[in-house]
Amino acid sequence: MRELTRLREQAVVWDKLSHQVEDALVLATLEDSEIAVELSHEVQRLQEQVNTLEFQTLFSGPYDDNDAIFAIHAGAGGTEAQDWALMLQRMVIRWAEGHQFTVEILDQSDGDEAGIKSTLMSIQGDYAYGWLKSERGVHRLVRISPYDASSRRHTSFAKMEVWPDVAEEIEIEIDEKDLRIDRFRASGAGGQHVQKNETAIRITHLPTGIVVSCQNQRSLTQNMETAMKILKAQLFDLAQQKQDAAIAELKGEDVDAGWGNQIRSYVLHPYKMVKDHRTGYETGNTQAVLDGRLDGFMEAFLRYSLDRPAASKVGESNGSR
């Protein structure tokens, strides 16, 4: 029913636009100066609508219109990497807020001195997963370290993961015997009840080794429900990856092995540049990117995903830094 409602809403938009175009064509046959001015404005408005709808067709994946579950993990490098993970979290949250999306931090592990070791977030909004799937991968930062007394240049890595929130749409059987469930007291803010009771949950899926924890809710039951939803999404994503790998092997394809580990580099010294190594898209306005201006990178990735051979050639011709 949800899928039917979504498709009906899309059909209504296109039908309405079709009728508006027909009306504009009728106006175009009339010889009147006032009508000509009105027609000019109408054509401009219709063009803007067509551009918007054309862009939406880039969200061609089966789960692109779903909400997203988003994770960030600091790589090797201690405080530097943990600070970089926090910068990426801020970047993604700023982007989501700019699109009027809802962000909820489900679980977070703070860094030893600064930053975060990892974070898990729920991001809800139209085509949230379709937008954010471009961010999956390793992100590299090159800068003068604010934590180095000698002001040396450091390279830091952090990994982003994203899954479609499909818990309500799919059926995945999880045997209780395959789960190890640990309860513990939540850390950080949360109120007296959360601090004094074991409301936080950590679930380990023994066959795959996937570990999910949640501590943002006030009750044990709520945290259990949220953690199971996340586990379900990760198991679904794992099954999809195995299926894609099997298909690629049958086709004899190399699954992006030549692109290196990082998908994007953020260079703040000795020059300023953010470059996506998959698409070749780059900008020198690093501060804007870190403030959440990611649409250019995301749109480039969506177009690259639809036409991967062409995008690969562009990336090769531009080289990498």
Band of pLDDT at residue 130, cut at 50, 70 and 90: very high
Widest distance between CA atoms in the chain: 78
What is the reported pLDDT for 112? 87
Q: Are residues 52 and 109 in the same domain?
A: no
How many percent of the chain have pLDDT more than 70?
Answer: 85
**Alpha-carbon gap, residue 315 to 101, rounded angstroms:** 31
pLDDT over threshold 80, residue 217? no
What is the reported pLDDT for 308? 63
Q: Are residues 11 and 122 in the same domain?
A: no
Is 271 part of a structural domain of the chain? yes
What is the reported pLDDT for 252? 41
Query: pLDDT tens for residues 219-230?
Result: 888 888 888 888
Q: Are residues 247 and 272 in the same domain?
A: no
Q: Are residues 246 and 284 in the same domain?
A: no
Is 61 part of a structural domain of the chain? no
Is 197 part of a structural domain of the chain? yes
Higher pLDDT, 137 or 192: 137
Q: Are residues 242 and 114 in the same domain?
A: no
pLDDT over threshold 70, residue 155? yes
Q: Are residues 192 and 158 in the same domain?
A: no
Query: pLDDT tens for residues 167-202?
Result: 666 667 788 899 999 888 776 544 444 444 667 889
Q: Are residues 148 and 278 in the same domain?
A: yes
Contact between residue 281 and residue 296 where contact means Cβ atoms under 8 Å apart: yes
Q: What are the E-state strand segments in the chain?
A: 68-74, 102-110, 116-124, 137-144, 153-164, 179-184, 200-205, 210-214, 262-267, 273-276, 282-283
Q: Are residues 158 and 267 in the same domain?
A: yes
We report the CATH number of the domain holding residue 114 as 3.30.70.1660
Select from 266, 279, 273, 270 the least CA-distant residue to 318. 279
What is the reported pLDDT for 258? 27
CA dihedral 107, 110, 115, 121 (to 10 degrees): 0
What is the reported pLDDT for 313? 33
Band of pLDDT at residue 109, cut at 50, 70 and 90: very high
Q: Are residues 89 and 196 in the same domain?
A: no
What is the reported pLDDT for 244? 67
Is 269 part of a structural domain of the chain? yes
User: What mean pLDDT do residues 200-206 have?
Assistant: 91
pLDDT over threshold 80, residue 71? yes
**Alpha-carbon gap, residue 318 to 305, rounded angstroms:** 18
- Of 251, 272, 302, which residue sits at a domain end? 251
pLDDT over threshold 80, residue 99? yes
We report the CATH number of the domain holding residue 206 as 3.30.160.20
Is 129 part of a structural domain of the chain? yes
What is the reported pLDDT for 298? 96
Number of domains the chain is built from: 3
Q: Are residues 86 and 123 in the same domain?
A: yes
DSSP for 10-67, written as a single string: HHHHHHHHHHHHHHHHHHHTS--HHHHHHHHHHHHHHHHHHHHHHHHTT--STTTTS-
What is the reported pLDDT for 188? 55
**Alpha-carbon gap, residue 224 to 240, rounded angstroms:** 24
Q: Are residues 91 and 180 in the same domain?
A: no
Q: Is the peptide bond before 164 cis (omega within 30 degrees of 0)?
A: no
Q: Are residues 245 and 133 in the same domain?
A: no
What is the reported pLDDT for 267? 96
Band of pLDDT at residue 274, cut at 50, 70 and 90: very high
Amino acid sitting at position 300: A
User: Please, is 141 exposed, middle or buried when counting C-beta atoms within 10 Å of its C-beta (0-12, 13-18, 19+)?
Assistant: buried
How many percent of the chain have pLDDT more than 90?
Answer: 44
State which residues form the domain around 111: 68-165+263-318
Mean pLDDT check: name the lowest of 120-124, 197-201, 275-279, 283-287. 197-201
What is the reported pLDDT for 129? 94
